[in-house]
Amino acid sequence: MGRRKRTTLENRAGASAGGFARNDYEVEVAPGLEQVTRQELQQVLGRQLSQLATQDEQAGSGVISFTCRSSNGGELERILQLNTVFNAYRVLTFPIARPKGLLAHAHLGRLVDTIRQLQRRFPPGYFTNFGINAAGAESLVFRQLAVQLAGELALPFSTDENDLLLRVRPTPAAHARADTEWQVLIRLSSRPLSVRAWRVADMKGALNAAVAHAMVRLTHPQTTDKFLNLTCGSGTLLVERLLATPARRVIGCDIDAGALQYAEANLRAAGVHDVVELYDWDARALNLPDHSVDAICADLPFGIAVGAHATNVSTYPAILQEAARVIKP
């Protein structure tokens, strides 16, 4: 019987090549958009990216694992700049049969040292508490682990919303080097990376910013683009388009006056309000010439938080027909 091929992700204390350590990471993305994030990882990390799980290994999973050549954790700042991911984690693998092994002096020390390195990357007080996400998180073992970490990190343990989130799990089979391995995933930021500082006006049903950025990347944005965002809502796609690269002209339209006010507020918070044109056009009848737009993005109403299924049956085809009219061949 053949053995299953395993992903080779380096993650051992002291592992180095040419003076560089190798650190393992994992990011969460929208399932189906993994390839978009893989391309962003390659662009952002460049030569620091030493190992990336293949597309086939993690397609549709919403997870991408990778390894970085690291010099004093310098890759962290670049990872935190990723725009298409929900969350990013540092991954530590431990040769233990069960979570209780994390209480051993060597393993606990390695975990604490790694967390302290992360803490030093941020201003004092950035992390105000920590939490543990694991099967059996309320067990005695995890309560003991929480007590030990609280003392070492000088952070209170919380079961509510956590700034410093730790996930504990068995090593996924595709990555495991032994039958008895567990991993601790340390979230690299106090909030998901998909939470944007520019979102000061949060509209019900607004598109997730990481998904919006992935959509923008799929248009292969160019500085010469005339970009159109149909049913722009609170402006998520407009902001993310301009964060990707400047454009010759950026237009957003929506028939909801309140949505346009939300969009104006978010565009202003992002510092791009002066380069975006907002109109109260009906997306089924645009005030634009034929074949005048280079790229179009839209987050059409699903009929749940916004809109209704009964009207979407006729609205969707009409919007698509109008989009086909104004897009360049």
76-118 pLDDT, tens digit each: 999 999 999 999 999 999 999 999 999 999 999 999 999 999 9
* Contact criterion met (CB below 8 Å) for 210 and 29: yes
Query: How many residues make up the chain in this entry?
Result: 329
Q: Compute φ and ψ for 142, nearest 5 degrees.
A: -75, -30
Predicted pLDDT of residue 309: 57
Query: Among 71-75, 80-84, 189-193, which is the least confidently predicted range?
Result: 71-75
Report the DSSP beta bridge partners of residue 169. 183
- Mean pLDDT for all residues in the chain: 90
What integer is the mean pLDDT of 9-32?
A: 70
Identify the H or E element spanning 283.
Answer: none
CA atoms lying within 13 Å on the CB side of residue 270: 27
Q: Is the pLDDT of residue 164 over 60?
A: yes
Q: Strand 249-253 to strand 276-279: parallel, antiparallel, or no bridges (unpaired)?
A: parallel
pLDDT band at 175, cuts 50/70/90? low
Partners of residue 166 on adjacent β-strands: 132, 186
pLDDT at residue 1, as a whole number: 36
**What's the pLDDT band for 256 if we cut at 50, 70, 90?**
very high
Domains of the chain: residue spans and CATH: 16-187 (3.30.2130.30), 209-326 (3.40.50.150)
Query: What distance in Å separates the CA atoms of residue 32 and residue 41, rounded to the nearest whole number?
Result: 16
Sign of the C-alpha dihedral, residues 13, 9, 92, 80? positive
